Amino acid sequence: MHPRRGIPCWESPLHRSTRTKSEIDKVLIIVLGLFGILANTSSASGAQSQHSETLPRVFSLPAATLEELRREIAAKEVRDPTPQQLRRDADAALTQKPLSVVEKSVDPPSGDKHDYMSLAPYWWPDPSKPDGLPYIRRDGQVYPEIEKIQDHKNLSKLISTTYTLALAYYLLGDESCAAHASELLRVWFLKPQTRMNPNLEFAQGIPGLNTGRGIGLIETREFYRLVDAIGLLHGSKSWNAVDQKRMEEWCGKFLDWMIHSQNGKDEAAAKNNHGTYYDVQVASLALFTGKTEIARSVLQSAGQKRIATQIEPDGRQPQELARTKALGYSTMNLAGLFELALLGENAGVDLWSYHTQDGGSIRKALDYLLPFVGGDKKWPYEQIVEYKVGEISPLLMVAAAKFKDSHYRDLAVRLDPEVLHRIDVLPLRRAQSK
């Protein structure tokens, strides 16, 4: 099975609108970039812009278009309301207090509260046992007691808050946002009294069975957004060279743990979304820490190791269809594959064009889902919770650009009209027009 090589691009016809083309471009630059779903096409190997020294060092965001938008916002040339939404979101983020793994009331098995800890969400006490041990699995049903340990929720909040603040600093020039983002990062990752140890040894433990699993690495799957947030802070007086060096050292240690620990090896071997997001984390952390060859190796293997093994010729993802939230997990895994393709653009690896000899591909997986999310067909597998179209609408916007097909964009807008205005989706419109 061999990939077809091609040059990734952002061109796509745009859906007709009463807005001007340039206005549409500007909104989408913020939209999917804030969602963390667009790649920096101008920073792929050997493709640096002539003004690359001014570009942010990001890997899932379009650096050149972000810089262009920043200049236009400063010149008051952007009339779309999306930057105002970013301002409102940033104001809310400024109220977030620093978070730390040492805040939890439960000690990890190591006795060190600096170790991250969480419980497996789909495992419940066995009602047939007096002590409930060992716990038993109920796929898709979250055991409410996991909320007693807040490390997972707090880390997710930290990443989303820092990401918003970093974008507000870069695009709006608000140093107070950079200052608060820097403090949040230092408390969680760098300060001796509060920092997290760079491992997930005790993530998603199952009472009565283990103290942590490789599966727990799914809880750091948004680290690709974390490293982009740090890249956006470059140039701020609040985030200095020492902070940057120490953060790269932390990420380097975590990357080393992911590659060499048993939990990391178990997750690398996973055949479903867990394996996909393991690769996303390794590739993004490797790019961030300058270990480009590790990133390139992971991304070059992703075609055969992830796409070929996960996607059938008709686009079905059997590993995800076996779940009780099959539509949600199919979309989630597809989002991870999209992210691998975006990261690939920074390592000279084209996963957008990769297809197996029998036709399996990222695009085929997306197309398989469309009749079901669009309401033309009834979903034939389990989906025990309501499916939200906001899970797939950002992917459709990316697909419109990557596959040069405006039908994806039309469907995204029909399913989720707010996709054009959501602050968690900005940098695609201008990129589509280039």
Task: Give me the CATH number covering residue 381.
Answer: 1.50.10.100
Q: Is residue 215 part of a domain?
A: yes
What's the average model confidence in pLDDT over 353-357?
95
pLDDT at residue 343 tops 60: yes
pLDDT for the residue numbered 38: 44
Q: Is residue 13 part of a domain?
A: no
pLDDT at residue 25 tops 80: no
Long-range contacts of 65-69, Cβ-Cβ distance < 8 Å, separation of 24 or more: 65/29, 65/33, 65/427, 65/430, 65/431, 65/434, 66/29, 66/33, 66/170, 66/171, 66/427, 68/29, 68/430, 69/26, 69/29, 69/30, 69/171, 69/427, 69/430
Q: What percent of the chain shows pLDDT beyond 70?
A: 84
From the list 342, 344, 334, the residue with the least C-alpha distance to 301 is 344
Q: Is residue 317 part of a domain?
A: yes
Task: Quick: pLDDT tens for 164-214.
Answer: 999 999 999 999 999 999 999 999 999 999 999 999 999 999 999 999 999
Q: Whole-model pTM?
A: 0.88
Per the structure block, which two tokens stand in for 251? 């990420």
pLDDT for the residue numbered 16: 30
pLDDT at residue 9 tops 80: no
Mean pLDDT of the chain: 87
Q: Is residue 202 part of a domain?
A: yes
Q: Is residue 205 part of a domain?
A: yes
pLDDT at residue 35 tops 90: no
Q: Is residue 9 part of a domain?
A: no
Task: Quick: pLDDT tens for 365-406.
Answer: 999 999 999 999 999 999 999 999 999 999 999 999 899 999
Looking at per-residue pLDDT, the higher value among 81 and 155 belongs to: 155
What's the average model confidence in pLDDT over 35-51?
39
pLDDT for the residue numbered 76: 83
pLDDT for the residue numbered 23: 41
Q: Is residue 46 part of a domain?
A: yes
Tally of structural domains, the chain: 1
Domain region containing 224: 21-433
pLDDT for the residue numbered 24: 42
Task: Quick: pLDDT tens for 292-319.
Answer: 999 999 999 999 999 999 999 999 999 9
From the list 244, 214, 242, 215, the residue with the least C-alpha distance to 227 is 244
Angstrom distance (rounded) from CA 71 to CA 55: 12
Q: Which of 41-45, 88-92, 230-234, 270-274 is least confident? A: 41-45
pLDDT for the residue numbered 89: 93
pLDDT band at 335 (very low <50, low <70, confident <90, very high): very high
Q: Is residue 224 part of a domain?
A: yes
What's the average model confidence in pLDDT over 306-335?
98
pLDDT for the residue numbered 53: 60
pLDDT band at 5 (very low <50, low <70, confident <90, very high): very low
